[in-house]
Structure 1
């Protein structure tokens, strides 16, 4: 027995020593934060100062040195994230990951982002190209000369990063355009449903505003659309797949305590670790910038300079269409056009795969855009002689969105801002701006197509020319407002235009719940403070829940437990707070009702697994006797009224089993996903950033619960504010900021997850160039041809 004990003890000690040695070795991947570094391509000295939270202030004597320093700092803290972005956009993940990412690479190669950004970069003016070059020099300074080892992901995947090129930074913009443009994915879903359901039923799944204008005449669905063209969903993972939602608003000085505007913005993205944003303050003799940068990009994406503040939300403009191309039956390399058959543009892409033979595949384009069929999972069947092509304004070679972002950074007033956004081409965004002169402004720039006919909801025949794009909505005619009479501008992805607007921006718009709640809170006071706006950003009252409860609470209760549930929800104020139990009951009931309404859809039921409360509410109201037609039959009940009662009984029964003490925060936690660590057993759990969260899908403090396991009473928060900011135009240094995780992408850094509690609880920070803590780290970057001082 003793020899076995000593053997096990020795083995344990060896593992402990090995683990400790590995830990201390990996600690060497943390960057140098103090002292000085000699650098090429710098003109003058730059100071990089980090405070106790890891917040960075860059002090440079000219903008290009500032861009250089920012590239270096981004690489210090987020190089692997930058490289993953670059590989994802280029379709080169499989080189380092293996076959698991092959479908992603095929999809990205089909879109052709790598070649596209080369053309986009060539179209930029020299001043903007120089900024990208300076930034790239800074990134490469770290790649070539870092004194430490690289972050753990590089060692786990066993590869070294390549030189950073200016065009690599433009890939971020194309990936964001992809994440913020969801129409073609909805077209694919509708096409799958069309094989089994009539158009009228499918359209009812996306209830629109009753005041939607019929701007362009509805097209007749051709036989081609009704063909069973297989169109599976696109293969992107959650972190890269299209998502929506953001809040932004601005009030004029007439509604604030200072007499100057206040602007608030919180973009909503997937909750990943590290997050998409990096907070920084940049000071030069002529300009100061503060706000959110994105690792890989040299400019401030969201923030303020000396003169203006700005923010973004997604407009949901429909900038994508799927065209069905008809193949030449005698020559599969040709497709039909109004002028006859034409050859596809074609090239061969080769994907290198780690530990596997490389794969070559053809990429084809029609006159409408890239052929997606071969890049969509399981959709290579061409027996019907048709293929799907994607038309998308973000695929144009003359896209100048990077120039627009550069010019926004240097804008001094509303006129400058207006000129800058003329080149904001994709994705279409709704921008809010305030300047120190007191102006407030909203604009929705971007290239939005004008269709010859149709409304962009379904794939259309590509060979007739009847459905082609015939132009782009002129920038001057896109939705915009300057200094409105009601002294406020609010956008939360809700509908921007009314019936008098002469163009079709989109047929489908997200619901107005968050926008309506923002308006309610802004109207409570005529003298708003920065702190008032912070409170609004953290608001957890759900108008959606309160409105649908008016219907749910009419459900007959068949037992005492069900009556208890109804009473609890009737007394609920609609707030999804951490300690409340009512949100657990509510979302569990919504889960079962959603299953009863949509659970047996013949195709792609997964698209309806996360309930849309507006969709469910409209269906319950409009079809009280048939709303459950496409749903799971709960307890073999066929009658929809009985389904309501049965869903309530299920909730009551499960609630009683759970001992009535489950809080929303406990069951609605956020686990920030890491693309590599989460795929490694044990290590993924050890490095997990996880926190209980308030809010819901339709609250201002967005916290979308995943409903895939509602029967297990777990509703993980998967989508919410990746960044929050409130800008004080009276004193821009008084502006407030939050990011979701931390500044560092290295899990061994104290700055990896240090913002979690602040983000959850709304404990904002300032980027005012001073430190409230004694602990400050200063790194000096010196030009090699100057003396250190």
Structure 2
């Protein structure tokens, strides 16, 4: 009989037992750690949920509030504010905005003031350097002193409301603050005004284009090439290569710029200032509506962000009503109605910014040359902070504006180059009165008052459309437009004076239209000025596809609110209807596989509708993206991504009139357009079949094309960021009324991320403004723990809209504010 060991009987503590014991102890310890982490996580989540503000009850002792006011949130989180004075209403709006969008407001003022790095660290320094150089916050502070007493009272009351919330809040700050270990400072009135300066730069970003075009010329392209790359609509080649060049040739300035230096300047341009240009607006007068009164429809197009830009609210005080889209941080109504008049805006796409190449004084590079001799730079010192680091930034300015090239090079580097670049822009004028104009637009009781208010709307230039309850309507391209020699398409000479601005175009000379005989006004960023005035307004109006489609639909529309809301959802692409018939003959007999033949059959029968449930938009988008790459990559190289947008007129002009562009200069073979078009189709089909399968009829545009809302923090987090990033299946394309602009070249889902479009839609019924309809992306709150975090998204994604009537559909979330 064999002897039994302690290990076999389960007794004893010999060495044979230790490995299992260690494993058990490790498992037990791991389980305990996981349980502890879960408990901590659960506790952390519970604590973070205390960041959701109290929206019912009473808050007493609010400094700056003169009489009681109330903030009610309806079932969607739309704000209903009532107060006994307009100023107290703005106080309540500031309080509510701070409750819903504190992190968004903090980021906006930090970016605008050039203090982002104090929150996010070194990564924020490039933004801070540029914003301090531009001096937006200093300009905002100067604007405060220019406001009328009435407008200033609203700005100050709003700031008091924000601070009233900061002083009385309890619990955790919103999660973004917690993650970064940051607490907000009190709100200042200038924090409100800097938003307008920042948005103005984003809506008038021509200087980005000037640098890109200068880099293209340095890379070997010609002026005639730029004519094609920025073609407005398909047309034959112009007679003479320089027919569209400015009257004064800027080659004297261009010759002084080094390609590498231009590259470095381009790399230093912050993404937060990149152009974001688009929107739709149209109006029908009473002769074309069922009610006999105008209907106005508007949907501004901007880059999609999380939180969204807009806050929807209805504000009531004696003699004061504001209903529509506000921006967190600002008390003035941006888009909406005041009970008497409704308005919306589109970007004019005019050129109101110029980069001036300034020659340095060869005898003293600390000075620069002017037509009157050598001049000293205006200088100031800015102190930047990032964590424990403190940096001193010397900001220089010339007679044209701030020296933006100093952001990426030292004064010694600039002296070696012999030049600097200065930016001239109406946005950078100290006497800008746009904030005052926004206030006065809200005060207007009719069309004449409204137009008078627009005289002070200085920057950015916008097409401001309006209609009033008396049946009047109009549109004014309001804003400061420089009178210049040439068109500002490329950097200008700063030292000769020949390309200096000669002042501003008079308000009376700006494009405008009042009460047209046709009974309709339409603008979708298309040209609003005669071609002979290009030297004033620039060369970059959008292709007229959206405007044409709106006019086409309005021709037989019944003019009802419902019909106008349906038109805002239209996804028919005139661009596709123009381009597909050009592409198909070039691939005749070049469809070797079943999937490609099926795709071409679908396109032949397609009406251009880029609805989310259709397969044809997938084929069209993939084909045009591949074609764009093949046509331009050999000419633009690394600059193609900066050019990025697939421009309808450029592709059509090349295929119809400029076959030389179809040859790929990187190959020994001379390709024709049929070769390039067929090759791009093969490339597109291969990529899409890998992604969506061989059965082309089952492809869906909504699987490839989804709205992606970028959050400055959550979208950058590994693993968890993908779960927190908000997306929505959408239709449309770059040239559809329901704007679905997308980027390509991203290997992650979706294939064609929809990143620019209508984040807000509204239709205003001037017969009864209570019947006006609204929709906005995402939700009322930016706090991911709030019940209002995604409260609008379902309606926005489905194309539905809702009213904001006098009384909310739910008044249980009612907060009383008391002095």
TM-score (norm 2): 0.91
Q: Per-residue deviation at 1:140?
A: 0.7
Which structure 2 residues correspond to residues 33-44 of structure 1 after superposition, within 5 A?
Answer: 33-38=55-60, 39-44=62-67
For residue 683 of structure 1, report the CA deviation from its aligned partner.
3.2
Are residues 1:616 and 2:651 paired?
A: yes
Q: Which residue of 185, 190, 193 corresponds with 2:213?
A: 190
Residues 589, 711 of structure 1: CA spacing in aligned structure 2 closer, same or farther, 3 A cutoff?
farther
Q: Residues 112-161 of structure 1: CA distance to partner in whole angstroms, max 9, x if unpaired?
A: 01111111111111111111111111011111221232111111111211
Matched, 1:30 2:52: yes
d(CA) in 1 for partners of 2:267, 2:513: 36
Summarize the Cα distance change of 1:242–1:694 in structure 2 as closer, same or farther, 3 Å threshold.
same
Partner of 1:258: 291
Residues 683-715 of structure 1 show CA distances to partners (whole Å, capped at 9, x for unaligned) of 322322112111111111111111123899810
Which residue of 2 is the match for residue 11 of structure 1?
33
Secondary structure of residue in 1 paired with 2:797:
helix
Counterpart selection for 1:206 from 222, 227, 230: 230
Question: Secondary structure of 2:659's partner?
Answer: coil
Q: Choose from 608, 627, 642 the match for 1:607.
A: 642
Between the aligned partners of 2:129 and 2:679, the Cα distance in structure 1 is 46
5+ residue gaps, structure 1, are 784-789
2:444 alignment partner, SS class: coil
**Which of 274, 293, 302 is the aligned partner of 1:241?**
274
User: Are 1:646 and 2:690 matched, yes or no?
Assistant: no
Residue in structure 2 matched with residue 579 of structure 1 by the alignment:
613
What does the per-residue CA deviation read over 1:472-526, in whole Å, with 9 as the maximum and x for residues that have no partner? 000111011110011011111100022475972222211111111111111123x
Match of 2:451 among 405, 409, 418: 418
Query: 1:598 Cα deviation (Å)?
Result: 1.1
Residues 159-218 of structure 1: CA distance to partner in whole angstroms, max 9, x if unpaired? 211111111101110011011012111100111111122222122211135699x99962
| 2:434 matches 1:405 | no
The aligned counterpart of 2:321 is 288
User: Is residue 83 of structure 2 the alignment partner of residue 54 of structure 1?
Assistant: no
2:135 equivalent in structure 1 = 112
**Match of residue 536, structure 2, among 504, 507, 517:** 504
Tell me which residue corresponds to 1:179: 202
| Aligned mates of 1:378, 1:662 — CA distance in 2 | 54
Q: 1:444 to 1:374 in 2, by over 3 A?
A: same
Question: For residue 572 of structure 2, what is the aligned residue in structure 1?
Answer: 541
SS at the partner of 1:504? helix
The SS at the match of 1:244 is coil
Contact residue 239 and residue 272 of structure 1 kept, 8 A? no
The count of aligned residue pairs is 777
Equivalent residue of 2:81, what SS? Answer: strand
- Root-mean-square deviation (CA, aligned residues, Å) is 2.2
* Structure with bigger gyration radius: 2
Matched, 1:83 2:116: no
Distance in 2, matches of 1:429 and 1:602, equals 34
The corresponding residue for 2:802 is: 765
| Alignment partner, residue 360 of structure 1 | 392
Q: Residue in 2 aligned with 1:471?
A: 503
SS at match of 1:670: strand
Structure 2 distance, partners of 1:371, 1:418, is: 35
**Which deviates further from its counterpart, 552-561 or 311-320?**
552-561
What's the CA shift for 1:376?
Answer: 4.7
Using a 3 Å threshold, how does the CA distance of structure 1 residues 153 and 114 change in structure 2: closer, same or farther? same
CA contact (8 A) 2:734 2:742 kept: yes
The TM-score, its normalising length taken from structure 1, stands at 0.95
Distance 1:399 1:538, change over 3 A: same
Distance in 2, Cα, partners of 1:563 & 1:607: 34
Instruction: Describe the shift of the 1:572–1:462 C-alpha distance in structure 2 as closer, same or farther (beyond 3 A).
Output: same
| Contact 1:598-1:608 within 8 A present in 2 as well | no
In the TM superposition, residue 750 of structure 1 has moved relative to its aligned partner by 1.6
In structure 2, relative to structure 1, the CA distance for the partners of 1:51 and 1:741 (3 Å cut) is: same
Find out whether 1:747 has 2:784 as its counterpart.
yes
**SS of residue matched to 2:111:** helix
**Secondary structure of 2:818's aligned partner:** strand
Which of 158, 171, 180 does residue 148 from structure 1 map onto?
171
User: CA offset at residue 637 of structure 1?
Assistant: 6.9
Match in the other structure for 1:781 = 817
For residues 732-781 of structure 1, the C-alpha deviation after alignment (integer angstroms, 9 at most, x for no partner) is 011111111101010111211222221111111111132335x6311111
Distance 1:236 1:225 in 2: 19
- Taking a change above 3 Å as real, the CA distance of residues 502 and 714 of structure 1, as seen in their structure-2 partners, is closer
Partner SS, residue 733 of structure 2: coil
Q: Which runs of 5+ in 2 are unaligned?
A: 1-22
